[in-house]
Amino acid sequence: MNMQSKLTDYGFNTLSIHAGAAPDPTTGARATPIYQTTSYVFDDVDHAASLFGLQAVGNIYTRIGNPTQAVLEERVAALEGGTAALATASGHAAQLLVFQTLMQPGDEFIAAKQLYGGSVNQFGQAFKSFGWHVKWADAQDPDSFRRQITAKTKAIFIESIANPGGIVTDIEAIGAVAKEAGLPFIVDNTLATPYLIRPIEWGADIVVHSLTKFLGGHGTAVGGIIVDAGSFDWSRTKKFPVLSEPCASYQGVKLHEAFGDVAFVTACRVLGLRDLGPAISPFNAFLILNGLETLPLRMQRHCENARTVAQHLSRHPRVSWVNYANLTNDPCYGLAQTYCPKGAGAVFTFGIRGGYDAGVNLVNSVRLFSHLANVGDTRSLIIHPASTTHRQLTDEQRAAAGAGPEVVRLSIGLEDVADIIADLDQALAE
């Protein structure tokens, strides 16, 4: 089945199985093979020269690209409605390559303070060594992003559904702020997946994912991905010289001029990935491709189970509050109906009466749930962020990120929902 010229003719379920893939031309294998090789034979010297000079498309070295990886990239780009994608070793690697392409020492970007704790730490600590500086805004106040913009601002970054708080972000409103300021708008869509939200349709210029989570879906492979919407004019100003100015690595080629609506992801590959090297392995790309084939089915069940568990916990005497945007009394309920009417995902938080110690005791008492630092698995997962994923943050940062001392995060899996609830009930009784 040749999908190359017909991607727009197919629905989401079909694309999740077929986009980017075709029977192997040599063996006829229907599943995408694992191309477990470091490098690729050139046809001749001229062919090699054209590949290294960006005059031809093809494989050079698996650090830069791999045929298994290419199918994964085309499939996620199709599901997100983007022009192209680049798979990386992890979600953090994807974010690193995005900002390495956009930023120069001394530059700033604005990020929502309601983010995954690892991103808060990466942005606020690790990026300092590159001379990149983050300014924090409130995902629930779009105008707070406008107030942080300066002449040094290079991008705006949010999560579509915030981890761990489960806040549904007003993507369109914050995107309008970015567009007005002439800034690229980056959306981490990990918790929603394109099954629930397609940020490009709401104004995103760049979408990133941790493939480790719902897109892979089975807790077996680590990966990340960058999706280029092809919507940003990188040459309108001189703010993005990597894309608009002659590139010394490629005989003065201007990447935006040469590659048009795939210029950004091309720059991430042929400069950032080439030189920094956070490449995804072919085997991990293969595992994540298998996960994508069941993404719609899994997300539907994840959302159904999560809604039922959240409703149950909202009535539990040991629970003081539940943050889940599909509950009618949740502050984000209206935004959820706009942005993700099929469901608000599988990850949410609740407050346990008794605070920090009660949260620690709860995660030590579950039997069916797994206590670990991941989300998006087929299995139900639990963690106490204040003592784990957000431990490195200050009390103020934890509170801002929705990870206070009483907060417990759940990632609801695909088990029978009655068994999930029974396990929480017995653990809460402890």
Do 95 and 128 fall within a single domain?
A: yes
As beta bridge partners, residue 327 has none
pLDDT at 165: 79
Do 313 and 191 fall within a single domain?
A: no
Please tell me what DSSP assigns to residue 270. I
Do 270 and 401 fall within a single domain?
A: no
Please state, in angstroms and rounded to a whole number, the distance separating the CA atoms of residues 361 and 363: 6
Quote the tokens at residue 38: 């470091």
Contact yes or no for 178/112 (Cβ under 8 A): no
- Over residues 225-268, the pLDDT tens digits come to 999 999 999 999 999 999 999 999 999 999 999 999 999 999 99
Residue 143, H or E segment:
helix 142-148
Could you list the beta-strand ranges (E) of 58-181: 84-88, 108-112, 133-137, 153-159
Please state, in angstroms and rounded to a whole number, the distance separating the CA atoms of residues 396 and 400: 6
pLDDT at 6: 63
Residues whose CB falls within 8 Å of the CB of residue 235, separated by 6 or more in sequence, listed in order: 243, 244, 254, 256, 257
Does the residue 72 lie in any domain?
A: yes
Residues whose CB falls within 8 Å of the CB of residue 89, separated by 6 or more in sequence, listed in order: 222, 223, 224, 278, 279, 280, 281
Do 404 and 388 fall within a single domain?
A: yes
Contact yes or no for 222/284 (Cβ under 8 A): yes
Residue at a domain's end among 238, 258, 291:
291
Among 116-125, 159-168, 277-286, top mean pLDDT goes to 277-286
> CATH no. for residue 325?
3.90.1150.10
Question: What would the mean pLDDT of 269-284 be, rounded to a whole number?
Answer: 97
Instruction: Give φ, ψ of 345 to 5 degrees.
Output: 90, -175
Please state, in angstroms and rounded to a whole number, the distance separating the CA atoms of residues 258 and 248: 14
Does the residue 2 lie in any domain?
A: no
Asked if residue 355 has pLDDT above 70, the reply is: yes
Please state, in angstroms and rounded to a whole number, the distance separating the CA atoms of residues 38 and 279: 11
Contact yes or no for 415/379 (Cβ under 8 A): yes
Number of domains in the chain: 2
Residues whose CB falls within 8 Å of the CB of residue 50, separated by 6 or more in sequence, listed in order: 56
Please state, in angstroms and rounded to a whole number, the distance separating the CA atoms of residues 179 and 176: 5
Does the residue 323 lie in any domain?
A: yes
> CATH no. for residue 49?
3.40.640.10
Do 286 and 316 fall within a single domain?
A: no
Does the residue 4 lie in any domain?
A: no
Does the residue 286 lie in any domain?
A: yes
pLDDT at 2: 47
Do 273 and 325 fall within a single domain?
A: no
- 164: preceding bond cis by omega (within 30 degrees): yes
Asked if residue 180 has pLDDT above 80, the reply is: yes
Residue at a domain's end among 291, 326, 361:
291
Do 58 and 147 fall within a single domain?
A: yes
Do 277 and 311 fall within a single domain?
A: no
Is residue 5 very low, low, confident or very high in pLDDT (cuts 50, 70, 90)? Answer: very low
As beta bridge partners, residue 156 has 110, 185
- Over residues 184-237, the pLDDT tens digits come to 999 999 999 999 999 999 999 999 999 999 999 999 999 999 999 999 999 999
Please state, in angstroms and rounded to a whole number, the distance separating the CA atoms of residues 308 and 328: 13
Does the residue 386 lie in any domain?
A: yes
Please state, in angstroms and rounded to a whole number, the distance separating the CA atoms of residues 325 and 162: 11
| Domain with 311 in it | 295-429
Please state, in angstroms and rounded to a whole number, the distance separating the CA atoms of residues 244 and 237: 8
Does the residue 208 lie in any domain?
A: yes
pLDDT at 361: 93
Do 315 and 341 fall within a single domain?
A: yes
Residue at a domain's end among 239, 270, 291:
291
Asked if residue 3 has pLDDT above 50, the reply is: no
- Over residues 130-173, the pLDDT tens digits come to 999 999 999 999 999 999 999 999 999 999 999 877 899 999 99
Do 99 and 42 fall within a single domain?
A: yes
Integer angstrom CA distances of residue 340 from 22, 337, 343? 31, 6, 6
Could you list the beta-strand ranges (E) of 43-197: 84-88, 108-112, 133-137, 153-159, 185-188
Integer angstrom CA distances of residue 204 from 82, 88, 184, 391, 409? 10, 20, 8, 31, 27
Please state, in angstroms and rounded to a whole number, the distance separating the CA atoms of residues 198 and 203: 10
Do 287 and 329 fall within a single domain?
A: no
Please state, in angstroms and rounded to a whole number, the distance separating the CA atoms of residues 231 and 182: 12
Does the residue 3 lie in any domain?
A: no
Question: What would the mean pLDDT of 325-337 be, rounded to a whole number?
Answer: 96
Do 78 and 197 fall within a single domain?
A: yes
